[in-house]
Amino acid sequence: MKDKKEVKRPTIFIYVVIFYLLGLFLSSYYRPYIYFNNINDFGLADIGNNIMFVPGVYFLLLFIRKKPIWGILKDIYYILTSLIIAEILSFFIKGIGTFDFKDIIALSIGAGITYLIMKNKKLSI
């Protein structure tokens, strides 16, 4: 698949909705349920939202532009790098979030998921 090739908008819209709903479910329902019932889910409640963030942002940008900005890998890398920088800044600057190293790992997992989805040739026109 060439990086600059356009993608099918309905398919990309479905991915946007899926990742949005998964993120919403993980943060609004799953996390409170796990915390309230004191269930050990091996940290998924803490990082689940961050796993969905990179794919959500990537597919939203792809839906708006219809093609990658710089290329699939570069776009994913720039989104991942920007979010990791924001996470690290939250360690030094109060009020922009809470630093957690697990969030950086989760963002990286989300970037990997995004790449694996985009590697699928069914997305290209």
Could you tell me if residue 80 is inside a domain? yes
Place of tokens 């991915």: 15
Look at residue 6 in the predicted model and tell me its pLDDT. 58
Buried b (16+ CB within 10 A) or exposed e, 28-43: eebbeebeeeeeeeee
User: In this predicted structure, what is the pLDDT of residue 125?
Assistant: 41
Q: What is the pLDDT of residue 124?
A: 53
Residue 14, in any domain of the structure: yes
State percent of the chain over pLDDT 70.
Answer: 90
Domain assignment present for residue 2? The answer is no
Q: Is residue 3 situated within a structural domain?
A: no
Is 4 within the bounds of a domain?
Answer: no
Domain count within the chain: 1
For the whole prediction, is pTM greater than 0.95? no
Domain that holds residue 71: 9-123
